[in-house]
A and B are shown apart, each in its own frame.
Chain A
Amino acid sequence: DARVTQTPRHKVTEMGQEVTMRCQPILGHNTVFWYRQTMMQGLELLAYFRNRAPLDDSGMPKDRFSAEMPDATLATLKIQPSEPRDSAVYFCASGLDRGKYFGPGTRLTVT
């Protein structure tokens, strides 16, 4: 049963530290999305890739966030420096032209 995997599942870090979250999409999927979910804002699209190319990252604060897809089996989301307001659950989703299948998420807490 193919699944999207994300690591780490939980991360607690201090303000100012760099955070890297990783996602392994389902093999064969050509689209990868990064979302952030908070109680206040709900689910927000941060960035997405199609065939490893970044197509839209307008939802991402560019000064501190970056998203890459170094190969077809790995997508990364990096925050540097992290801030308390970045505390959220970060989901990766993959699919064929759509991000239909979500990973379990990374719960990030920035103190």
Chain B
Amino acid sequence: EDKVVQSPLSLVVHEGDTVTLNCSYEVTNFRSLLWYKQEKKAPTFLFMLTSSGIEKKSGRLSSILDKKELFSILNITATQTGDSAVYLCAVEASGGYQKVTFGTGTKLQVIP
């Protein structure tokens, strides 16, 4: 059974701190890993990663994938209160079907 584990489950930091969120996975026929940000509504797409070692970057957020060790990290630098959200990691599998498995998320709270 495909599995996605995120850590930590929750995190409280001060504005300006840098945070690293972790996502490890076990999946048959890996296709891609996706990161989403969810505030009090629908998940918002952040990144899609398919290749190891290539960093994806968007402003203060960046992410990288390690397909050998089966994990990804999401970094947020110079955190702001608007970064407070649940960050979800999802893994897509392929091979005649397309299965998507989500982790339970990391709840990030950024305090002033």
Contacts and interface: CB of A to CB of B under 8 A. Distances in A.
Contacts of B34: 98, 100
B75 interface: no
Interface residues of A, number: 18
Contacts, number: 43
Question: Which label, helix, strand, loop or mixed, suits the secondary structure of the A interface?
Answer: strand
Contacts of A101: 45
Question: Which label, helix, strand, loop or mixed, suits the secondary structure of the B interface?
Answer: strand
Interface in A22-72: 33, 42-45, 48, 50, 55-56
A100 B44 CA distance: 8
Interface in A72-98: 91, 98
A5 B35 CA distance: 21
Nearest to A95: B45
B98 A105 contact: no
Contacts of B105: 42
Interface of B: 32, 34, 36, 41-45, 48, 88, 90, 92, 97-105
Interface of A: 33, 42-45, 48, 50, 55-56, 91, 98-105
